[in-house]
Amino acid sequence: MVKLMRKIFVKKLSKKHIIKFPKLYEKITNSKEMLFRFDCGSLWHRKNVSRWDDIDKCLKVIEPKIKKHKGKIKNFTWAMLYEIPFLEQIQQMKKFNLYDYEVEDQNLHYLDPIWHRKKENCLYIAEDLLVADDDFISLLVNKIDGLKKICFWSQPVGVGFLETNECPMEFIQNHLKHKNWWDAMLNIKEPYDKNFKSSDSEFGNDLDSLLYIKKNIHPKIKIDFAYIDKDEKKILKKHGII
């Protein structure tokens, strides 16, 4: 079904036809639901892909729609679809100097930077977005009707064959040569830059973003984390985030 939808909205990539990715191929924007699905192409054909750059390009499409939307949103979906070849397919293409490969269901992978679990009214947010998108997170959280909780989690690509891989990031970096592909992880213990000195932010890490979000969303909305250690839990409690 996913492959069929993709073929309807996006022409097959070839040497003579270059598509600018990510490409929006399905959109729903009404009073009850907002849905955005992006085709992000094949990580075999694309060069020097950064998931952060792709997320940023998607946000430039989504954010204006959120700002223009009147009233509350009952459901929200943002999905990014990637084609990733198996290692065997990569080896065959290199051996026989082939350009393309046969796309199977397990070649298709989703990245879901934000997804809304309607049953428990919880918004799951990839930790990538904490780096520079705290304004967007706050905007969206306040738009969702009756939201009870937001949960931050580190989200690698999933659904396809890499979902069972111990380190999808290393597969993408090493076998597909995307050295700028990084899966973000929560950082609240030390600054991103060891020489950090700034009057604009206090900590120079994700704690700045979390404090900003906490301040700018409804106080009854709980903030949770899928994976934190004991030290991180102490820091988050100390600053009133959890």
Q: Which domain holds residue 101?
A: 28-238
Domains: count for the chain:
1
| Number of CB atoms found within 10 A of residue 153's CB | 14
pLDDT at 14: 45
pLDDT at 190: 87
Q: Which of 89-98, 176-185, 197-206 has the lowest mean pLDDT?
A: 197-206
Closest CA to 49 of 129, 205, 134, 157: 157
- Full-model pTM: 0.89
163 in any annotated domain: yes
CB 189 within 8 A of CB 232: yes
Cα dihedral: 25, 181, 87, 9 (round 10): 10
Q: What is the pLDDT of residues 26-45, one digit of tens each?
A: 999 998 899 999 999 999 99
DSSP H helices in 112-205: 134-143, 168-175
Q: What is the pLDDT of residues 114-152, one digit of tens each?
A: 999 888 899 999 998 987 789 999 999 999 999 999 999
Orientation of helix 134-143 relative to helix 206-216, angle to 10°? 30
pLDDT at 86 > cutoff 90: yes
144 in any annotated domain: yes
9 in any annotated domain: no
64 in any annotated domain: yes
Give the number of C-alpha atoms closer than 13 A to the C-alpha of residue 148, restricted to the C-beta side: 6
